[in-house]
Structure 1
């Protein structure tokens, strides 16, 4: 395993960069090769992953070890190969990818090339709760999504999150809100719709 390569960026292509190390050019595939444009001609350290197959031996490069670890985690998902993992990392925001996984945000994940609903669901099933080192502020001690104030979030449902915060701002406490939650979770509504429905449910008790 090659941990990293230190050398000059001598060439940039749409899929890879070439690092010149004492006259030897290492071809390194990257999520976004043009992110190294500012380093062209300069000496850099690029962290690598060596992918070995019967018919190929390839090096993949990353700006840092965290990015490489996420790449390795994605490779563990059924249906995700090196090309697909790179396409996901090409977003340039690994922490946003992790947030989408933790919040079960399939709509965000299917935006990536080669990721359909089935693969997005597989990514969530395989990796949710296994990536706390990237987004510790978004998880509680049980590994469940929380907001910046430490309140539980509802995976993939921004409108319900907003409605819960609005109800708390109106003076309702968690005990009251929780009585309405089982019904609200089964509905697909706007933020205002959730608030109105929650008020009806709470007034019935």
Structure 2
């Protein structure tokens, strides 16, 4: 099993990145490929090596917590790798874990591909199996509030902006991008979903 890859990023698309590891290009499907766009030099991606009859695929994550949570999610009946990837693209690992602990079905059903029955199965199957994943962050109370923001769309922008600045984007780049993006952000959007859209827009220039 391939547990992680380390090497330079050579290409990215909407759903995956390509890494060069010792001269071999590995296609790795990620929750948010564009988050890697500003990285230079070698990157480390924690992976899940998924094998089925008609395909062998790699799914990759920036942290062990996301890797572990992904592996727990695909143990739930009705959640395959693609749905699990969508869950992680729609919410942070800490937010998803907290929602499961709090039995917050409203939050979980806002995630891509998750209906009420699947949300209930997630809670039933995983509530007692997530020890060691994001515990330190949850214990601080930083992620106690898991309801998706329902205020004006611009309310999530300050958080997204700070995250983008940390990745190396300039004030002028962010100001130009926001003039377009703000028309495509809705009250129910989370900071994570807006971040993914913003990164794609910054990378593609559209």
CA offsets, 1:121-158, max 9 Å, x none? 0100100122131353698xxxxxx995xxxx9xx9xx
Give the distance between the partners of 1:147 and 1:42, measured in 2 at CA: 34
User: Does structure 1 residue 77 correspond to structure 2 residue 80?
Assistant: no
Query: Could you list the runs of 5+ residues in structure 2 that have no partner in the other structure?
Result: 148-206
Structure 1 residue aligned with 2:50: 51
Q: 1:147 to 1:45 in 2, by over 3 A?
A: closer
Question: Rg: which structure is higher?
Answer: 1
Cα drift, residue 18 of structure 1: 0.1
Structure 2 residue aligned with 1:192: none
Cα drift, residue 93 of structure 1: 1.3
Query: Could you list the runs of 5+ residues in structure 1 that have no partner in the other structure?
Result: 140-145, 157-205
Query: How is 1:145-184 mapped onto 2 (pairs within 5 angstroms)?
Result: none
Structure 2 residue aligned with 1:25: 25
**RMSD, matched Cα:** 2.2
Give the distance between the partners of 2:13 and 2:107, measured in 1 at CA: 27
CA offsets, 1:55-103, max 9 Å, x none? 0000111112121010000000000000010111113510110000000
Q: TM-score, normalised by structure 2?
A: 0.64
Q: Which moved more, 1:85-94 or 1:108-117?
A: 85-94
- Contact between 2:49 and 2:59, CA under 8 Å: does it hold in 1? yes
Structure 2 residue aligned with 1:14: 14
Structure 2 residue aligned with 1:96: 95
CA offsets, 1:159-197, max 9 Å, x none? xxxxxxxxxxxxxxxxxxxxxxxxxxxxxxxxxxxxxxx
- Contact between 2:99 and 2:108, CA under 8 Å: does it hold in 1? yes
Q: Which runs of 4+ in 1 moved over 3 A?
A: 135-139
CA offsets, 1:27-75, max 9 Å, x none? 0000110111111x52111111100000000011111212101000000
